[in-house]
Amino acid sequence: MSQLSNILRQHYIPDEALGGEGRVKNKEALHQELSRLLAHLRAMFWAAAAMIVVVFIVELAIGVMHLDSVAVLAGVTGAMGLTIAGAIEAMRRVAREMAQANLLVILSAELDSEALAPIVNALVRKL
């Protein structure tokens, strides 16, 4: 379960519990939590990007030091591919959640609780 999903579930009373329409418990608290999550996700995104750069530099340095060894070069190339592919996938997931959180931060600042509730309800069901 994503961090965004956890935050939405904490700040939302589902429609099944109320016997009708769901509602957001505290719009301001939800907005603050989403803003904190957005800042955290931005940091995670840039940390993953920095990791890709560091891995690339380290593996490039190892490759340069062992230009005469085909086995080392093959190992470095394989490791670089796996590491960078995993980091890019992590960045993709973080970017998706960051976009969703960013949209909710904007909407939670502009909409009232009644207008925000159906959006949160749809996201809670999706996530």
If we measure between CA atoms, which residue out of 15, 14, 12, 39 comes closest to residue 26?
12
DSSP run (H or E) holding 22: none
Q: What is the pLDDT of residues 2-48, one digit of tens each?
A: 888 888 888 888 766 556 666 788 888 889 999 999 999 999 999 98
Average pLDDT score over the chain: 85
Is the pLDDT score of 1 beyond 70?
Answer: no
Helices 70-110/27-65 angle, 10° precision = 170
String of DSSP letters for 59-81: HHHHHHHTTT-HHHHHHHHHHHH
What is the model's pTM?
0.77
Domain edges within the chain: 3-126
